Structure 1
């Protein structure tokens, strides 16, 4: 299913309703092929153009900004048409795919000359050779080199407890990556956000589940539901077995039913889009539950890990830390940042490698210089496996293997290295060295884009190719000699022997001397064509020469094509070993990148252990520090200790806006992410007890499309944190409750803080402007207060961005408003109003203090209200019956009430 609806103008017909009856043969063919691919835009090959008709043409015209024209009529209406040149099709495809469209590429599979032999009304045979969708792209020009292009397939099953588990199959056919995992329903959105797929394929039943509707609405990926009948468990397992030619999946691992269903769904979709081509996928690997740091979608967005809130890579954490020199390494770095580890052994291995390379400058430099010459080996290998490669892909594999051999030599020369580097060195040596040597000898220095262009086999590699080429080169000399002889014999110095695709070789003379040339000939010329200013002839001798030349060129191209197939076949045979080399190149690139980053920015090795510690000395925000460095300004480092069992597990932070609270919160979360992905961190030192889940509620945003206000979004995200955070989790919360009325917000923030302390018992940073909450520092055992230092100067304020123990006395809102540029009259008026409100507040009876209320864990129903004290005046009034009183008695009653009133005063 395509998410872009087909819209047609009133005077046109939608393609789905077209009847081929009555159409021209060519248009009847188009309608038939389109009917077989109703959910795709059809690129219909006509000569040097891909043409689109009817509704497809209107969609493409709007999306690509190209002219919409007309071609004939059908069903009484004009046929809309637009087209794109074949040699620029990739540019247009990329734009269509970026908008979520799917494109069926229909090629001519027959020589037009063959069609003509069948009859004057015969149409050239055409077939759809592939479907291009966002998640199944393989062409370099359509792909982002630094980003994976994932297709995510989803399956599900019921667990023994009655809950639902979802299987995820993450497939990148541009590199062959294939991984499986299973998550609970509550973690599905976070897992999808971690993979960041371009396209999601799933059953119609899963797609129609109302509990998941919000996930599909929020996804940036194209969503493709498939019929449930095609995704039965038995069929899914059979597809996986057939993909790898095995009778059982036991040798691959212990997969769940949901994971197998997801794998089968992904393979079914790939088979449909790739048609005859078989995607060369690696053996699926299984990610164990809990093997990566769980980060939900909201937290990923808030922390801007791989892209900013506006969707850009520039300005994200990934952009700040990326020092990789290969495309494959850049993709692996993004993958590791998206899924930090929880396995302490693997984290320590990565840190050890970074430390080793950071210390050995010469080795790191040699590695990076060698890697800089390595092309994208993984994607070139995938294109060869799919049969879509060209000579430059073979050269990429050659250069990648040669770079791997060079790196292996560098690591061997280095001697004792870390366990990770030793494993990388072993993988680099897995490829057949003869393959790189053969490719080096076979491929020329200058290579064409397509093998159809020929000329990519190096001279001297094949005697047959050299002979065919020599004949072609010599024939050009023969043609020149024949032209000179004909010119001399005819006496026509302007005689030329030319060539075009229609006539082949021919003799051309100016019209003014054509007859004279004919009279002067000593041999027979055959007249071919008379032009306005020229006459064309041929001869038996020229015809014989043309046949020799044509045969030589075709033979040379056929021989080169055979050599290409032979080389590609050898590469496919070695594909599993070459894939290991590609993975090793990416891994060492990431390690060297992290080491380069650590040396360049003075980042330090963190200690990640199994405790509940969180002690950061001199921590810094990597992205903010980079921005300040570019501006020539320093970053103020701050400590953060959430390690205490008795104090300090939760840090309540008060202070002014612009004081740095949000930066402080985020930087500590980012330090945890960097540490567990295996990188060094921006701090003087860091000890972090392994974090299992990371939660962030920072900033304000609404979701008007779903009718959710800023406060509703805030509460939804806060609810997810309070319901899921564990003792090992790290939580950062900023300004909870500020989106509603003051007392409502204060009450919610207070209750959330107590819940984090008593129920979740997690490590947390809680920033607030509700200064009343600071009183909880005396009552919650593991809560400490901290504030951001501020210096007042005259009527202004200087933010020192330094976190210190204590409580903020003021929020400095007026000073921030003045800095923001509010009119002076508004700031002055606000100051007067503030003084008035503060005075009124001081004049009210004292309200109940936080100290008077029980803690979260001890909350009980409120006691019944006490009856009001008896009022003497009310008693006297109740005893008086005005209708029974004489004037004298009424006057006495009035005096008595006045005496009671005076005594009460």
Structure 2
């Protein structure tokens, strides 16, 4: 038979079947049934049973409520949603079962506790909506208040998702059926939502505005629905508590360089392809930010380079200034050490998750911002420092510098802030002294010399008067007890102080909490000022990061023009940092009206991909406002960076390597403009040789004839180099190779002209393939080169060549001699004794 408690649990649980229900019981959150089994497995909790003696055997697992946060975070990170059910009345006041209700829902996209989030990445919740033939995607980070929306076509939707990396996506049922399988494979949690009725009115009411014109979404139904849907969901998860959101920001894609998900991945802009961390990415090279906010903003910049030349040049000017002003730069950078994550601290305040250390962090950040402003005042023109000064003073006057993490333990508020608090502290700390003062005062007032104030557990504090002095007792004394030789009394004053002494600790804690929360409420009023300050400090942090990176790596300021695109001594920013020692081989690139399409040939491992990637990365760096790794860079503004690099099956859609390759190339062809930069690596190799050659040739011709974009096409199809004779704008380049003493050395230098061979067998040698395979490969290559003139090549014909066995033996002898020559070249004759030299000669003679 179900108990009243379990009836209450079941009644609440039925509305939250898809959630792990944290059910508050005293000092614990308890989970029952399947929730308990999941919690036991994921959290490593001991699974017990409830009502076992009644034969019910209900699975049970519990955690202390005061240490619940890491457990909630672990469940959410494992893909579960958690509903927090609290006791909503004091058990002492309850008539029957204590009232309980769900007060918060935590999902991967609505998690508030920043201690369990990556400080250098946003924690986005996204929503995709389709309306009036348009797709819109809204996304927000409730910990920072960022709320953005954009329109995009179906082809770019997955790229946008890949770019922002949301932890959770909201979809209607129909969109889940269409995109659900792809999004699942991106390891993003999906939640089903329905349309918000009168979405426009809902948004206007929430933001307290009369029109959506000010946000730029008026009349854009898909955007309005996407924004309303995500906001409605978050408010439901937070039970309509206040959010950090200030406004809706429309992403105007025409202001930013378009970078597809494949380009982000291929160029390893914000994470590498091996373990998906930032190590070895462009972000890893550029991010020397002191603040988490700076790192997050830099990541956003890298994914959306600018198309606004004036803003780019402003950043260049700032970087030049910081490079020259060494002392000032280092002073600002040191001050940034004491700049905390304003966005997320403010989020904690708004969600009432803040503690004393958080508020002091805001105070210290304000102090540092004053110092930074004094060093670089023109960057703070939009900041209201009068308000910030008031906030700093208020926090400093109220809050102790070493305020604890817990806001329910007291020891946060300074003396002199509140007279009642000071009195309570005085009573708690000096209770005995106060009672002695009362005792002395009562003796003097009554004339009873032996009057004493005493205490016991039954009556508390009381005045004891001997029988001989009964006639001197004032009428205001209240008799409490008669003894054989004395009477015991209380007074209103003693009773008042007794109450204060006994309850002073609890009252102090509660009063401090009220004062602290009033301070937090005051800070909330100025969230817009804090966000403006946060953005300014993050921008300065990024500029200093760019300046330091430029100085450390010898970067230069780019220039932009419309006539030509030229980078001299271009270097790959990541590769040169990884190899170090200034050993990276730099190269040039040049485009103009008569040089638009580069066909790049050369062996594998020779540096073709690195060369192409560095051109794209330099364009990205230049258009986020960074200096670049080169001796000079005169660039055109690039509107899109489109790449097809590498060969792999698409695990998201189940497509083969060749289908993925053709799909990506089709997307490039269909979206590229004259101002785009196209990077193609070995397109066509996923099919037969002649099919691939035909496709590669046709793609090249189409780009030249119809798009005329700046393009680099790396290929092993040497036949493509013949296109240079057909098109004025096509130019052949190759990786320089040096052949010496039977060995191949890749010089990694780009020179004019096409390569006449791929050196694949030489690469195989370097990779350490057995000599028998190398010899067989050489044999087949010779046969292919002969047969190529006569028809289709076959791997299975028995080729007979006159004296082939002699040739094979001769090649073995040559290999053997080359090994001996290498050994001789490495001998240090200056430090060799005559005996050692003679022994070496004998050894070589025997081996030959």
Question: How would you bin the TM-score normalised by the shorter chain?
Answer: 0.7 to 0.9
SS at match of 1:55: helix
The aligned counterpart of 1:187 is: 156
Partner of 1:27: 6
Find the partner of 1:146 among 92, 102, 120.
120
CA contact (8 A) 1:654 1:771 kept: yes
Specify which of 744, 760, 780 is matched with residue 833 of structure 1.
Answer: 780
Corresponding residue number in structure 1 for 2:81 = 102
2: CA distance, partners of 1:550 / 1:294: 68
Aligned to 1:471: 427
Query: Is contact 2:124-2:166 (8 Å) kept?
Result: yes
Judge conservation of contact 2:194–2:229 (CA < 8 Å) in 1: no
Aligned to 1:267: 231
1:347-496 correspondence to structure 2 within 5 Å = 347-412=312-377, 422-427=378-383, 429=385, 431-475=387-431
Secondary structure, counterpart of 2:537 in structure 1: helix
- Please give the alpha-carbon distance, in whole angstroms, between the structure 1 residues aligned to 2:515 and 2:330: 38
d(CA) in 2 for partners of 1:792, 1:697: 31
For 1:622, the equivalent position in structure 2 comes to: 573
Does residue 637 (structure 1) correspond to residue 637 (structure 2)? The answer is no
Q: 2: distance between equivalents of 1:285 and 1:128?
A: 32
In 2, the alpha carbon distance for the partners of 1:667 and 1:74 equals 71
Contact in 2 for aligned 1:93/1:142 (Cα 8 Å): no
Find the counterpart in structure 2 of residue 56 from structure 1.
35
Judge conservation of contact 2:360–2:401 (CA < 8 Å) in 1. Answer: no
What is the distance in 1 between the residues matched to 2:67 and 2:136?
Answer: 39
DSSP-derived class of the 2:62 partner = strand
Q: Name the residue aligned to 1:685.
A: 632
| CA 1:649–1:431: 2 relative to 1, 3 Å | farther
1:791 aligns with 2:738: yes
Q: 2: CA distance between counterparts of 1:829 and 1:322?
A: 49
Shift of 1:87: 3.8
Secondary structure of the corresponding residue to residue 452 of structure 1: coil
Judging changes above 3 Å, is the alpha-carbon distance between structure 1 residues 469 and 845 closer, same or farther for their aligned structure 2 residues? closer
* C-alpha contact 1:428 1:584 (8 A) present in aligned 2: no
3-state SS, counterpart of residue 693 of structure 2: helix
CA 823–92 in structure 1, closer or farther in 2 if over 3 Å, else same:
farther
Q: Return the match for 1:243 from 188, 202, 206.
A: 206
2:26 is matched with which residue: 47, 61, 64?
47
Q: Does 1:772 align with 2:719?
A: yes
**What is the CA deviation profile of residues 73-102 of structure 1, one whole-angstrom value per residue up to 9, with x for unaligned ones?**
699874333233334322222222223222
1:530 alignment counterpart: none
**Which of residues 810, 814, 817 in structure 1 aligns to 2:764?**
817
What SS class does the counterpart of residue 290 from structure 1 fall into? helix
Deviations 1:478-506 (A, max 9, x none): 99xxxxxxxxxxxxxxxxx999xxx9x9x
Closer/same/farther in 2, CA of residues 785 and 193 from structure 1, 3 Å limit: same
> 1:181–1:288: 8 Å Cα contact kept in structure 2?
yes
Name which of structure 1's ranges 96-105 and 296-305 shifts more when overlaid on structure 2: 96-105
User: Which residue among 215, 218, 221 is the counterpart of 2:188?
Assistant: 221
Q: Which piece of structure 1 moves more, 468-477 or 131-140?
A: 468-477
Contact 1:769 1:811 in 2 (8 A): yes
Kindly indicate whether the alpha-carbon contact (under 8 Å) linking 1:385 and 1:572 is maintained by their aligned counterparts in 2: yes
Name which of 643, 662, 671 aligns with 1:696. Answer: 643
Contact kept in structure 2, 1:430 and 1:577, CA below 8 Å: no
Counterparts in 2 of 1:658 and 1:222: CA distance versus 1, 3 Å = same
In structure 1, the gaps of 5 or more residues are: 1-21, 159-163, 413-421, 480-496, 506-523, 525-539, 847-905
Give the structure 1 partner of residue 300 of structure 2. Answer: 335
Matched, 1:123 2:97: yes
CA distance in structure 1 between the partners assigned to 2:664 and 2:289 by the alignment: 34
Trace 1:504-543 onto structure 2 (pairs within 5 A).
none
Question: Residues 154 and 261 of structure 1 are in contact (CA less than 8 Å); yes or no, is this contact kept in structure 2?
Answer: no
2: CA distance, partners of 1:74 / 1:176: 51
- Counterpart mapping for 1:201-220 below 5 A: 201-208=170-177, 210=178, 212=179, 215-220=182-187
Check whether the contact 2:126–2:230 (CA below 8 A) recurs between aligned residues.
Answer: yes
Contact map agreement 2:357 2:402 (CA 8 A) in 1: no
- Is the contact between residue 239 and residue 267 of structure 1 (CA under 8 Å) also seen in structure 2? no
SS of alignment partner, residue 747 of structure 2: strand
On the 8 A contact 1:329/1:587 being kept in 2, the answer is: yes
Find the aligned partners of 1:404 and 1:318 in 2 and give their Cα distance: 26
Distance (Å, rounded) in 2 between the aligned partners of 1:241 and 1:727: 41
Structure 2 residue aligned with 1:884: none
The structural deviation recorded for 1:330 is 1.0
Corresponding residue number in structure 2 for 1:135: 109
Is contact 2:566-2:633 (8 Å) kept? yes
Are the structure 2 counterparts of residues 357 and 226 from structure 1 closer, same or farther at C-alpha, using a change threshold of 3 Å? same
CA distance in 1, matches of 2:52, 2:194: 36
Counterpart among 597, 600, 603 of residue 552 in structure 2: 600
Distance across 1 between alignment mates of 2:38 and 2:563:
56
Q: Identify which of 644, 649, 654 aligns with 2:596.
A: 649
Match of 2:447 in 1: none
Q: Check conservation: 1:202, 1:265, Cα contact below 8 A.
A: no
Shift of 1:797: 2.1
Is the partner of 2:362 in helix, strand or coil? helix
Match of 2:666 in 1: 719
C-alpha contact (below 8 Å) 1:138/1:379 kept by paired residues: no
Q: Work out the CA distance in 1 between the residues paired with 2:233 and 2:61.
A: 29
Q: Conserved in 2, the CA contact under 8 Å of 1:408 and 1:429?
A: no
| Residue 172 of structure 1: aligned partner | 141
CA distance in 1, matches of 2:124, 2:136: 15
3-state DSSP class of the match of 1:658?
Answer: coil
Q: What is the number of equivalent residue pairs in this alignment?
A: 747
2:283 paired with 1:318: yes
Name the CA shift for 1:673/1:803 in 2 (closer, same or farther; >3 Å). Answer: same
Contact 2:302/2:624, CA 8 A, preserved across alignment? yes
> Cα–Cα, structure 1 residues 424 and 783, in superposed 2: closer, same or farther, change >3 Å?
farther
Give the 3 Å change call, closer, same or farther, for CA 265–727 of structure 1 in structure 2.
same
Indicate the residue corresponding to 1:557 in structure 2.
509
Q: Kindly indicate whether the alpha-carbon contact (under 8 Å) linking 1:657 and 1:813 is maintained by their aligned counterparts in 2.
A: yes
| Displacement after TM superposition at 1:702 (Å) | 1.1
SS for the counterpart of 2:14 is: helix
**Correspondence for 1:37 among 16, 21, 26:** 16
Aligned pair 1:302/2:266, yes or no?
yes
How far did residue 192 of structure 1 move? 2.3
1:70 partnered with 2:39: no
Looking at structure 1, the residues matched to 414 and 792 of structure 2 have their Cα atoms a distance apart, in angstroms, of 95
- Cα distance, 1:698 vs. partner? 0.8
How far 1:633 sits from its partner (Å)? Answer: 5.6
CA distance in 2, matches of 1:476, 1:303: 74
Shift of 1:766: 0.6
Deviations 1:46-71 (A, max 9, x none): 33332222222233333334333333
8 Å CA contact 1:428–1:580 kept in 2: the answer is no
Once the two structures are superposed, residues 448-471 of structure 1 have per-residue CA deviations (whole angstroms, 9 ceiling, x without a partner) of 212112111123433332322232
Q: Check conservation: 2:124, 2:141, Cα contact below 8 A.
A: yes
The answer to whether the Cα contact below 8 Å between 1:608 and 1:676 also exists between their aligned partners in 2 is no
The answer (yes or no) to whether the contact 1:734–1:766 under 8 Å persists in 2 is yes
TM-aligned CA deviation for residue 392 of structure 1: 2.1
Deviation at 1:804, TM superposition (A): 1.3
Residue 784 of structure 1 deviates from its aligned partner by 0.8
The CA distance in 1 between the partners of 2:88 and 2:764, in whole Å, is 70
Contact 2:316 2:625 survives alignment (8 Å): yes
Tell me, which stretches of 5 or more residues in structure 2 are unaligned? 436-454, 461-480, 482-489, 794-848
Q: Give me the whole-angstrom Cα distance separating, in 1, the residues matched to 2:664 and 2:432.
A: 75
